[in-house]
Amino acid sequence: MRDRINAALKVAQDDGDKRRCATLRLMQTAVKDREAAARETGKDGVNEAEVIEILQKMISQREISAVEFESGGQLDLAEQERTEQDIIREFLPQQLSEDEMRTICQEMVKDIDAHGLRDIGRCMSELKTRYPGKMDFMQASSVVKDMLRADNSGKTENGSDGKGNA
């Protein structure tokens, strides 16, 4: 991914696209900063999943800024933030559709034999391992939670169904 960012920066420089150059440089800097921090703790650097996490965080930051700019009437700055989001998104894996995510969450609940809200952590950990950067994990968490709630909807707090059955 770093090579893709570097190549895109060279193309943007050749094209004279200042906004794209600035955004790509910010991306490079964010990755280099995280690598430096990792080396200080004895790690070799950052892996692809961590780069994806960095880019997703950058997108979230720009979304917050865009909303704040819009509410403050600074529509040009909000548009600039959204443009930067689009540039960053180009480097992330293709996101799963909501239907695909729901299907995957359903399969995950079955795969790990999850039966209640206590299994949300296991489900989410496995989803993050299998699908890094490919879905909105906040949304996936909500979907899994709803599935596990529905799975337990007929049971009481102690795990029985109120008829003496567990």
In this prediction, residue 163 carries a pLDDT of 46
In this prediction, residue 82 carries a pLDDT of 95
pLDDT under 70: residue ranges of the chain: 151-166
Domains of the chain, residue spans:
2-89, 98-151
In this prediction, residue 153 carries a pLDDT of 59
Q: Answer whether 66's CB lies under 8 Å from 88's CB.
A: no
In this prediction, residue 152 carries a pLDDT of 65
CATH number for the 2-89 domain, one of 3.40.50.10140, 3.30.470.10, 1.10.3470.10, 1.10.1510.10?
Answer: 1.10.1510.10
- What is d(CA 84, CA 59) in angstroms, rounded to the nearest whole number? 8
- What is d(CA 144, CA 23) in angstroms, rounded to the nearest whole number? 34
In this prediction, residue 95 carries a pLDDT of 82
Q: What is the pTM of this model?
A: 0.66
- What is d(CA 52, CA 95) in angstroms, rounded to the nearest whole number? 12
Q: What is the CATH number of domain 98-151?
A: 1.10.10.410
* pLDDT one-digit tens code per residue, 107-144: 999 998 888 888 889 999 999 888 887 888 888 999 99
